[in-house]
């Protein structure tokens, strides 16, 4: 047993959040002589790129969620804690927890991520849930399956049509995946199971405020994605701005034309993200600045001005990529960016401990891919020989294997593979479970 004193002398690294960035930072410290504490509100790392599959009943939640302490069971310098960090005391070098606990640190990596943003219209949240956590996914699953159930019970034609109209707001990757999968469910999974309605008659509407879906992709792939969505039966409406959402539907203002109303009982929000509120708190505590989305503006090495011991990474950071001989470029909010930042933040801690200067962050862009539905995807690879772009079946297969490859943990890979193989051949969706409220003791 080492002396307790010797233990206490090891630098304490606190990592807040175990998304892609936090997880990668902790892993990068596996051989370091430091004590790492990893704290998160949940007990699991969530593989967010497949969260839409949980929301659409294609995967069960445990398939894309790995218990954090299981992932680090063999990395003995990591202590995992479940708790919510509500503030940072930068002067005292202590993180405050919601339950009153305090976690002192010598080095801090904040990777608290992002949540939905309703652009100041928070009252829309009740009518158009977003998709960031497992509970969000369960809520959306409940609404989607519940809408078909309600339609089967509904006698009134107009009301039935509203139950069978599904609107996805936002044409980014999540919105495109949700709309495409909803079309699959309506056209392939459910037909034959209902007696009074035809699920295939459901309308799936994808609303995007700008002129094209998948803005982060080149224009040709956006066009291909639109065509693939339309083939699946999705109504794609670009240049469509949402002006109101309530329990019965939403108001839409097209760029060219008159405002109209869509009666819908199931609306999914995939339009905006905002940084975790911890960003503003951290900025106030350190004198750092935040951008309009609430992301903390970081130094080239991902640390905060005047606080080399604090790094901010992932979706919470407004970071720039610094390639030699090129002007700085903003880092996109994608998982490879978060992982790369996690590795650099960890490496910079080790550099500081050795008395070396910190390294500036450089984002390596390997490309971009998005799935749309069965046999439908778009891929934009960045290779040394220039971009490689393709779409359709091959892109879909590429997407599939990339996602299984990057899924954390062998166990989950196997389960997801089986679930998908089953879904592919049977058109069934395995996780179609909607729980009623908790059973109450009989009232008597």
Nearer to a second copy (CB atom), residue 99 or residue 157: 99
Cα separation, 140 vs 266, whole angstroms? 8
CB 232, min distance to a second copy, A: 22
Strand 94-97 versus strand 44-46 pairing type = unpaired
- Active-site position among 24, 177, 184, 208: 177
Cα separation, 36 vs 33, whole angstroms? 9
Q: Report the candidate in 199, 184, 205 with the shortest Cα–Cα distance to residue 149.
A: 199
Cα separation, 392 vs 397, whole angstroms? 9
CB 277, min distance to a second copy, A: 4
CB 124, min distance to a second copy, A: 9
Cα separation, 387 vs 326, whole angstroms? 19
Nearer to a second copy (CB atom), residue 398 or residue 430: 430
| Residues 36, 79 contacting (CB under 8 angstroms) | yes
CB 77, min distance to a second copy, A: 9
CA 197 to chain centre: 34
Cα separation, 390 vs 102, whole angstroms? 50
Q: Which residues pair with 240 in a beta bridge?
A: 254
Is 3 a residue of the active site? no
Nearer to a second copy (CB atom), residue 66 or residue 379: 66
Cα separation, 391 vs 235, whole angstroms? 20
CB 356, min distance to a second copy, A: 29
Nearer to a second copy (CB atom), residue 30 or residue 432: 432
Helices (H) and strands (E) in the chain, counts: 12, 27
Nearer to a second copy (CB atom), residue 268 or residue 358: 268
Residues in the chain: 444
Q: Where are the alpha helices (DSSP H) in 154-296?
A: 157-163, 173-184, 219-232, 278-286
* Token pair belonging to 433: 């479970």
Cα separation, 149 vs 145, whole angstroms? 6
Nearer to a second copy (CB atom), residue 236 or residue 407: 407
CB 100, min distance to a second copy, A: 11
Active site residues: 177
């Amino acid at each position: 047993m080492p002396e307790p004193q010797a233990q206490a002398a090891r630098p304490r690294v606190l990592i807040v959040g175990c998304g892609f960035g936090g997880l990668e930072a902790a892993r990068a410290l596996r051989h370091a002589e430091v004590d790492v504490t990893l704290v998160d509100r949940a007990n699991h790392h969530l593989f967010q790129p497949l969260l839409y599959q949980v929301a659409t009943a294609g995967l069960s939640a445990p398939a894309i969620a790995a218990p954090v302490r299981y992932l680090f069971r063999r990395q003995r310098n990591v202590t995992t804690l479940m708790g919510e960090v509500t503030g940072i005391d930068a002067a005292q070098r202590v993180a405050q927890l919601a339950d009153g606990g305090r976690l002192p640190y010598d080095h801090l990596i904040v990777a608290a991520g992002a949540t939905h943003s309703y652009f100041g219209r928070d009252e829309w949240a009740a009518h158009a849930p977003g998709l960031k956590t497992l509970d969000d996914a369960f809520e959306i699953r409940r609404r989607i399956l519940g809408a078909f159930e309600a339609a089967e019970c509904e006698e009134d034609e107009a009301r039935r049509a509203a139950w069978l109209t599904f609107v996805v707001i936002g044409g980014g990757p999540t919105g495109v995946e949700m709309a495409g999968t909803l079309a699959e469910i309506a056209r392939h999974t459910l037909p034959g199971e209902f007696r009074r309605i035809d699920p295939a008659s459901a309308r799936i509407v994808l609303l995007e405020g700008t002129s094209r879906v998948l803005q982060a992709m080149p224009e040709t792939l956006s066009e291909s994605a639109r065509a693939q969505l339309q083939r699946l039966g999705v109504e794609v409406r670009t240049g469509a701005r949402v002006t109101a959402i309530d329990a019965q539907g939403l108001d839409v203002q097209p760029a060219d034309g008159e405002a109209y109303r869509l009666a819908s009982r199931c609306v999914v929000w995939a339009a905006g993200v905002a940084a975790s509120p911890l960003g503003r708190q951290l900025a106030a505590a350190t004198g750092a600045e935040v951008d309009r989305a609430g992301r903390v503006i970081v130094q080239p090495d991902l640390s905060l001005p005047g606080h080399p011991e604090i790094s901010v990474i992932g979706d919470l950071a407004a970071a720039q990529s610094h390639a030699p001989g090129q002007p700085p470029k903003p880092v996109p909010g994608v998982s490879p960016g978060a992982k790369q930042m996690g590795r650099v933040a960890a490496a910079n801690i080790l550099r500081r401990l050795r008395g070396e200067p910190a390294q500036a962050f450089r984002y390596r862009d390997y490309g971009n891919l998005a799935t749309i539905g069965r046999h439908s995807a778009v891929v934009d690879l960045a290779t040394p020989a220039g971009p490689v772009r393709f779409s359709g079946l091959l892109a879909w297969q590429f997407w599939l294997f990339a996602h299984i490859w990057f899924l954390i943990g062998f166990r989950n890979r196997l389960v997801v593979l089986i679930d998908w193989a089953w879904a592919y051949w049977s058109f069934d969706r395995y996780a179609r479970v909607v729980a009623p409220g908790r059973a109450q003791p009989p009232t008597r």
